[in-house]
Amino acid sequence: MVKLLLFHKGISWFRENQKLVTLVLGVFFLVLLFCSPSALALKPDEVLVLANKNVPSGVALAKYYMKKRHIPSNHLLKLRITDKEQCTRDAYETKIAAPLRRYLKVKALEQKIRCLLVMYGLPLKIASSQMNRNERRKYKRLKQREKELRVRLNRLKNKQNKDYEKIEAELADLKKRLKAVSKNNQRASLDSEIALVLQKNYPLSGWLPNPFFAGYHQRWLMEKRDTTLLVSRLDGPTPEIVRRIIDDSLAAERSGLKGKAYFDARWPRIQGKISFRGKSGYRFYDTSIYRAADIVKKTGRMPVIVNNKPEVFQPGQCPDTALYCGWYRLGQYVGAFTWARGSVGYHIASAECSTLKRAGSQVWCKRMLEEGIAATLGPVNEPYVQAFPVPDLFFRFLLDGYWTLAECYALSKPFCSWQMVLIGDPLYRPFNVPK
């Protein structure tokens, strides 16, 4: 309940057109007002690289990246944990979080490190905490009660019956209690969780507001930036793809990212005042995709193509793709794109980063990496649409050329301790072309 209240307070502008317009028009003023100097201009010596000792290819990739980006050699922490894509909550705490805290303390790096880079070979997601014996018993009792109520409900044909209403109300309450006891809302991406590794005793259930997000402006939340880290991941189906991401990002930085920008909305653009009531999140993100296209078009950096049909871009329709944002094709990548070197983009749909390695999977993150994209993002589980980086914010920051990829992601993403993952070189600035 507390988190729901925080969400409504912190992201109320999602639902109020006037505040939304103010944000879009004045985003840079917000950043200047609420971002401390330490929250901008990420540097190589502020990055700590995490690698898995059990995956030699991941350690080799870490050293390769550090050499290319001139990251100090003592900014590599080798951990020992499963090489599977999922780990338990206990394994995360004992084999990743605890060693990381000790390392930062011993090396006196707490004040210097602002970004963690998770390398190929480390887990992608953290499973829900296990129920203890009492919790399992309680869960079983609640499930039995739920079963009994559903049988009674099915016997009642008249929905106006007072008993029908009472049963429905109890079932709704049971649903909440079952969710809390089962701890299913404690699962998260490793990357989103590790952003809070310097914080203690924060709640694990559901999401927490991201203090870097440009849409929040509460002073108490801004103060948490000192104990919240930027996080990115260099990962993919194979070590070769990860090396290609590194090389492509550096090459695009030298020459500037070139190609075309494709934006795939779901509905025709709404003109005039927009009501953010009811299912506002969907309309908000659809409108944000249009606004992102406007931002790219205004820069004149590249041609912009917008699709406003219900169907996503079809095979062969997006040659030379440099930038992309669209939705909604769940777990079924469409080969519409030929990705330009250094390309950046993401698809808004549930669990599109649930795996990066499972053979045959068609989730968008995995397939985009296989096809040649250099930076993307997605959720490991159901995130709800409002958990995604806001498209017009993300691309506005990216096109500015000052902020790194990790900062663009942090400034446009509403939540931590949740489901999202950023894949790409955290220092990548595709539009910061040397003069």
Tell me the pLDDT band of 158, cut-offs 50, 70 and 90. Answer: low
For residue 426, give both structure tokens. Answer: 């955290």
Predicted pLDDT of residue 273: 52
Q: Which residue has the higher pLDDT, 303 or 19?
A: 303
Other C-beta atoms closer than 10 Å to the C-beta of 373 total 28
Tell me the pLDDT band of 152, cut-offs 50, 70 and 90. Answer: confident
Contact (CB, 8 A) for 190 and 125: yes
Q: Would you say residue 257 has pLDDT above 60?
A: yes
Q: Would you say residue 236 has pLDDT above 80?
A: yes
Q: Which letter does DSSP use for residue 17 in this model? A: H
Predicted pLDDT of residue 19: 43
Measured CA to CA, the distance from residue 382 to residue 420 in angstroms comes to 10
Q: Tokens 């939540």 label which residue?
A: 415
Predicted pLDDT of residue 20: 43
- Positions of E strands within 327-394: 337-347, 376-379
Contact (CB, 8 A) for 367 and 324: no
Global pTM value: 0.83
| Residue burial 74-108, b: 16+ Cβ < 10 Å; e: rest | ebbbbbebbeebbbbbebbeebbbebbeebbeeee
Helices marked H in 52-195:
56-69, 89-92, 98-106, 133-155, 162-182, 190-194
Give the three-class secondary structure for 91: helix
pLDDT in tens, 80-120: 999 999 999 999 999 999 999 999 888 766 568 999 999 99
Contact (CB, 8 A) for 76 and 49: yes
Measured CA to CA, the distance from residue 404 to residue 40 in angstroms comes to 9
Measured CA to CA, the distance from residue 223 to residue 219 in angstroms comes to 6
Give the three-class secondary structure for 80: coil
Give the three-class secondary structure for 318: strand
Q: Is 20 exposed, middle or buried (0-12, 13-18, 19+ CB in 10 A)?
A: buried
Q: Tokens 């399992």 label which residue?
A: 136
Measured CA to CA, the distance from residue 247 to residue 23 in angstroms comes to 35
Mean pLDDT of the chain: 86
| Residue burial 228-256, b: 16+ Cβ < 10 Å; e: rest | bbbbbbbbbbebebbbbbbbbbbebbeee
Which has the closest alpha carbon to 86: 363, 392, 356?
Answer: 356
pLDDT in tens, 384-398: 899 999 999 999 999
For residue 299, give both structure tokens. Answer: 């820069």
Tell me the pLDDT band of 168, cut-offs 50, 70 and 90. Answer: confident
- Asked which of 7-16, 38-47, 322-331, 382-391 is least confident by mean pLDDT, the reply is 7-16
Q: Would you say residue 218 has pLDDT above 60?
A: yes
Q: Prior bond to 328 cis, omega within 30?
A: yes
**Percent of the chain's residues with pLDDT above 70:** 83
